[in-house]
Amino acid sequence: MTPEERPPTEFEKKVYDALALIPGGRVTTYGHIARYLSCGSPQAIGQALRRNPYAPETPCHRVVSADLTIGGFFGATKGSPIDRKRRLLEREGVSFRENGTIHPDCCYRFDE
């Protein structure tokens, strides 16, 4: 069984459930999800998202870096996957600043 074919772990399922709470037109950060799940590791969140077998229905594209830059997508940090992530976010109504960062008003925190 390849890593892509293995079923999601319980931790990954919790991450994917958290994604379902992020409304369209909003983003959250790897750190916000880590705090929400009390896991303490934004990197673990990123690894779970990288293996998301339910994309795009489970919207991993709505997770960005703490500095509100776009972060990664499908394991890439530049190139066409990042362009695709930005297009998905723009279609959902996420606003970007002139410097390419996401407008803070678009950031979802789980305590809202």
88 SS3 class: helix
Chain centroid to CA 17: how far? 12
Catalytic residues: 60
Q: Which CA distances in Å does 80 have to 2, 58, 86?
A: 25, 20, 10
Q: How far apart are CA 61 and CA 87, in angstroms?
A: 10
Please answer whether residues 75 and 50 qualify as being in contact, where contact means their C-beta atoms are separated by less than 8 angstroms: yes
Kindly state the helix (H) or strand (E) to which residue 29 belongs, with its residue range: strand 28-29
Query: Which residues lie across from 27 on neighbouring strands?
Result: 107
